[in-house]
């Protein structure tokens, strides 16, 4: 069975420079080897713009300038092919001169009135494609492929709407039927036909042009007439993109579109698609593919009757900019249900295109979008059309919002599943984008909304990220670059590529701040260089940072400080729609009323607040406890060594290391706070115990926790670190004697927390140094390990134990990173 024709269309960007032209010629030879082909070509490079300029010059009477432009057009053609093919392009200049001779004759006549007519203008502009067909045919012949230029005016019969003509299919079909037999015979002889795009002719022979995307329209019509198997549009991109790549770095080509989606995109102004191009393909069932001339190995975008069947993802996000929204509000009930139709008819009568329209539920108000350039004219038309109702006060005068952007989610397959609109608007709301108007068709093929122009990039990125059209993007503002923050930066740098490749997660460091300075970049900061960049950062303005962070997809504030007062920062973040991940225990140990206020702000904002590392570093202590409570278990006792630092010290002194040396070693290893007394005082462990108790609903404050320091209180009064260590050295012998006493009793020193939510005298929480017997779970701890044992109704005989490394910047940072990743995972698919 003979393979059907394959129609290839090459745009001006594919022909107007040497390298794309060489690639185009290679593609033609490869496709020709597979079966019969027909080419459709646009004008080379900027030739059409040059001819528009020449027409304007001639209309002014400057025919010398017009002829000079013809010189430039000829030179572009000759130079492009010569640079692409070298000496094999000999003789091309004569062909070019022959092709442009009639154009020179028009300008040489010096008739200003003639060149000012619409039909004359189309005649002049037609020379771009006519010259291109001659040049491409000549270039093919120079490379050994027999080729013939075909003027589409011989078969494309149009109406007489010059500059935007419509092809009349019945007479065009007859002519194509007559010519196809001739072309098929020529194809058998190895001849490739190169057709002019963009142009046609009226029945009486006057040249017309087909308007925007006219060459694609020509290719679709030719394919229908030839009964082609496919149309391929070669251009300078690898297909329809999931979003504007100038707005979304992660945008990529859409693999598959349905005819309906393509029509939707064409109606939304996507330049590479046009409704007229799609109609012949829909009527004939011929698929179209959009491919990149310079990357022919890319599969591109296929458009056919089926489209994508992936109900998990939409097709793409579009953004039509430089628009205006015109709003007319009505009062109470509607006897004006037809105002939309009246306004639409009035605008159409004066050739003002409406790109978007939505009507109030009772019909007594409308909002519509027009090009910003048409806003003033459209507002005046609407005002005149509705003047009686406006005069009576039943309708308000039109209000114009300009500039605005129409953001559209195109999702034919996904549109048949629930909550697509919810996710769309939730994504916009999460980043603070105000939707001025919206609409969704009954087919759910597309959801469109109007947003202020300055919100365009934020809106498109947010929706693109929310629907996981590329890797999910998570943007982190990190507070603190000390032991934990510094380790987190290292881990983000080391894990980023693995997260991208294995988990489709683009984890970005958007900003870094310490107590004085900050650095921020919406495009992301290299974590490996963040501390270096911070040295030259701007003065810290936390609200300004939060305002910038909230505009990014999945914004997360990460607190790796031990600063006081961070609860107010969290609340300001939540109010802006920002999630919080924190290793800072202090906000969770606030007085009950302040803590309640903090969690109310979390609930109001519907954001996430994750704080697993506040108790067990990277150990899943809080999540384990929450799961026990969620599943209805009753917790009777919580006991544990909650401080990895004090666990490390207990181990070291138990094996004979002097206390002062053990504390110095812990400080050097990064286990302690900058001043070790903050650990030895037990307050840090008390906060952890209180956090766990409150997860059980225990209503206690930090002052209610019984705290006994690891060392006598008087040793903790030294503000100077050196003086503190000197005092510890004086205390070494006394502490060693205490350890010996415990050893003599068969006990081991441990610093334990104990939580009894239902004690005989009410709930109680304590953290104290204590000697425990050899069979106690705490005696199994090594180094800086921590453990928590949960005794519950279900785990009464053998408590549920969580044990592992409980101190150190690296493990705590790993816990913080795990919280960020868990947060991002929980947001997927919402």
Give a three-class secondary structure readout of 443-486: CCCEEEEEEEHHHHHHHHHHHHHHCCCCCEEEEEEEECCCHHHH
Burial-class residue 393 by CB neighbours within 10 Å (0-12, 13-18, 19+).
exposed
Phi, psi of 175 (to 5 degrees): -65, -40
Residue 536 burial (C-beta neighbours within 10 Å; 0-12, 13-18, 19+): exposed
CB-based burial, 471-503: b 16+ in 10 Å, e otherwise: bbbbbbbbbbbebbbbbbbebbeebbeebeeee
Which residues are CB-contacts of 364 (< 8 A; sequence separation ≥ 6)? 329, 330, 331, 332, 333, 334, 336, 337, 339, 394, 395
**DSSP structure class, residue 531:** H
Q: How do strand 609-610 and strand 635-641 relate by DSSP bridges?
A: unpaired
What does R_g of the chain's alpha carbons equal in angstroms? 37
Three-state SS sequence of 707-773: ECCCCCHHHHHCCCHHHHHHHHHHHHHHHHHHHHHHHHCCEEEEEEEEEECCCCCCCEEEEEEEEEE
Residues forming beta bridges with residue 792, ordered by sequence position: 635
Contact 709, 680 (CB under 8 A): yes
The CA-CA-CA angle for residues 159, 162, 168, to 5°, reads: 20
Tokens of 53: 């300029």
How do beta strands 37-41 and 6-10 pair? Answer: parallel
Contacts 24+ apart (CB under 8 A), 137-142: 137/192, 137/194, 138/81, 138/89, 138/91, 138/92, 138/95, 139/21, 139/25, 139/81, 139/84, 139/85, 139/89, 139/92, 140/25, 140/28, 140/192, 140/194, 142/81, 142/85, 142/88, 142/89, 142/92
For residue 400, give Cα distances in angstroms to 268, 326, 359, 380, 516. Answer: 20, 5, 16, 11, 44
* Coil/strand/helix, residue 643: coil
Tokens 């909550």 locate to: 419
Judge residue 208's burial from the number of C-beta atoms within 10 Å of its C-beta, 0-12 exposed, 13-18 middle, 19 or more buried. Answer: buried
Catalytic residue status for 688: yes
Residue given tokens 């770095």 in the structure block: 249
Classify 577 as helix, strand or coil. Answer: coil
Residue 348 makes CB contacts below 8 A (sequence gap 6+) with 354
How many whole angstroms separate alpha carbon 813 and alpha carbon 802?
19
Of 676, 673, 645, 674, nearest in space to 660 by CA? 676
Residue from 550, 585, 586, 688 carrying the catalytic annotation: 688
Catalytic residues: 688
């Amino acid at each position: 069975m003979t393979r059907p024709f394959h129609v290839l269309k090459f745009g001006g960007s594919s022909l107007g420079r040497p390298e794309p032209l060489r690639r185009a010629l290679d593609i033609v030879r490869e496709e020709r080897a597979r079966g019969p082909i027909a080419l459709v070509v646009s004008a080379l490079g900027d030739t059409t713009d040059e001819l528009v300029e020449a027409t304007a010059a001639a209309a002014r009477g400057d025919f010398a300038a017009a002829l000079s432009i013809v010189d430039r057009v000829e030179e572009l053609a000759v130079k492009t092919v010569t640079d692409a093919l070298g000496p094999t392009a000999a003789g091309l200049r004569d062909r070019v001169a022959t092709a442009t001779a009639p154009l020179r004759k028009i300008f040489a006549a010096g008739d200003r009135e003639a060149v000012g007519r619409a039909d004359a203008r189309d005649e002049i502009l037609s020379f771009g494609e006519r010259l291109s067909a001659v040049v491409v045919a000549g270039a093919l012949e120079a490379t050994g492929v027999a080729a013939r230029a075909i003027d589409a005016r011989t078969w494309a019969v149009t109406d007489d709407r010059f500059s935007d003509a419509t092809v009349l299919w019945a007479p065009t079909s007859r002519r194509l039927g007559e010519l196809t037999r001739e072309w098929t015979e020529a194809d058998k002889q190895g001849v490739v036909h190169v057709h002019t795009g963009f142009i046609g002719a009226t029945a009486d022979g006057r040249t017309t042009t087909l308007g925007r995307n006219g060459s694609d329209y020509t290719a679709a019509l030719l394919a229908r007439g030839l009964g082609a198997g496919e149309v391929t549009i070669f251009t300078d991109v690898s297909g329809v993109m999931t979003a504007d790549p100038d707005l979304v770095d992660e945008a990529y080509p859409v693999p598959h579109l349905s005819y309906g989606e393509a029509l939707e995109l064409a109606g939304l102004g996507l330049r590479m698609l046009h409704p007229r191009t799609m109609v012949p393909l829909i009527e004939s069932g011929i698929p179209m593919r959009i491919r990149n001339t310079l990357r022919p190995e890319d599969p591109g975008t296929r458009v056919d009757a089926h489209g994508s069947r992936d109900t998990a993802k939409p097709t793409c996000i579009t953004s039509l900019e430089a628009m205006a929204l015109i709003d007319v509000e009505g009062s109470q009930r509607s006897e004006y249900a037809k105002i939309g139709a009246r306004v639409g008819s009035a605008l159409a009568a004066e050739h003002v295109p409406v790109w978007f329209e939505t009507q109030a539920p009772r019909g007594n108000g409308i909002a519509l979008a027009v090009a910003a350039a048409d806003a003033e004219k459209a507002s005046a038309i609407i005002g005149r059309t509705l003047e009686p109702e406006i005069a009576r006060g039943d309708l308000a005068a039109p209000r114009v919002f300009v500039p605005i952007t129409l953001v559209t989610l195109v999702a034919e397959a996904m549109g048949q599943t629930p909550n697509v609109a919810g996710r769309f608007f939730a994504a916009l709301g999460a980043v603070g984008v105000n939707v001025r108007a919206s609409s969704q068709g009954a087919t759910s093929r597309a959801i469109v909304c109007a947003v202020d122009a300055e919100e365009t990039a934020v809106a498109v990125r947010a929706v693109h990220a929310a629907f996981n059209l590329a890797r999910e993007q998570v943007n982190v503002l990190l507070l603190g670059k000390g032991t934990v923050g510094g380790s987190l930066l290292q881990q983000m740098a080391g894990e980023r590529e693995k997260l991208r490749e294995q988990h489709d997660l683009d984890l970005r460091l958007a900003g870094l701040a310490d107590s004085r300075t900050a650095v921020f970049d919406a495009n992301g900061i290299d974590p490996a260089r963040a501390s270096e960049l911070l040295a030259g950062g701007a003065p810290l303005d936390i609200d300004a940072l939060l305002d910038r962070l909230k505009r990014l997809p999945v914004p997360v504030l990460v607190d790796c400080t031990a600063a006081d007062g961070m609860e107010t920062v969290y609340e300001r973040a939540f109010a802006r729609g920002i999630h919080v991940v924190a290793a800072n225990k202090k906000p969770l140990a606030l007085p009950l009323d302040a803590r309640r206020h903090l969690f109310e702000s979390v609930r109001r904002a519907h954001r996430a607040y994750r704080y697993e590392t506040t108790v067990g570093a990277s150990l899943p202590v809080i999540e384990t406890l929450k799961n026990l409570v969620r599943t209805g278990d009753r917790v009777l006792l919580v006991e544990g060594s909650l401080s990895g630092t004090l666990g490390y010290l207990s181990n070291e002194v138990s094996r004979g290391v002097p206390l002062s040396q053990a504390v110095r070693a812990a400080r050097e290893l990064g286990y302690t706070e900058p001043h070790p007394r903050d650990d030895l005082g037990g307050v840090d462990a008390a906060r952890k115990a209180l956090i766990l108790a409150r997860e059980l609903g225990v209503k206690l404050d930090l002052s209610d926790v019984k705290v006994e320091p690891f060392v006598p209180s008087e040793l903790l009064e030294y503000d100077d670190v050196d003086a503190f260590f000197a005092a510890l050295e004086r205390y070494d012998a006394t502490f060693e004697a205490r350890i010996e006493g415990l050893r003599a009793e068969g006990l081991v020193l441990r610093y334990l927390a104990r939580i009894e939510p239902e004690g005989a005298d009410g709930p109680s929480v304590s953290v104290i140094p204590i000697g425990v017997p050899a069979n106690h779970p705490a005696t199994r701890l090594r180094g800086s390990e921590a453990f928590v044992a949960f005794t519950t109704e279900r785990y009464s005989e053998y408590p549920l134990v969580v044990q592992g490394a409980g101190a150190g910047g690296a493990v705590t940072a790993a816990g913080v990173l795990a919280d960020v990743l868990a947060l991002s995972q929980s947001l997927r698919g919402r």
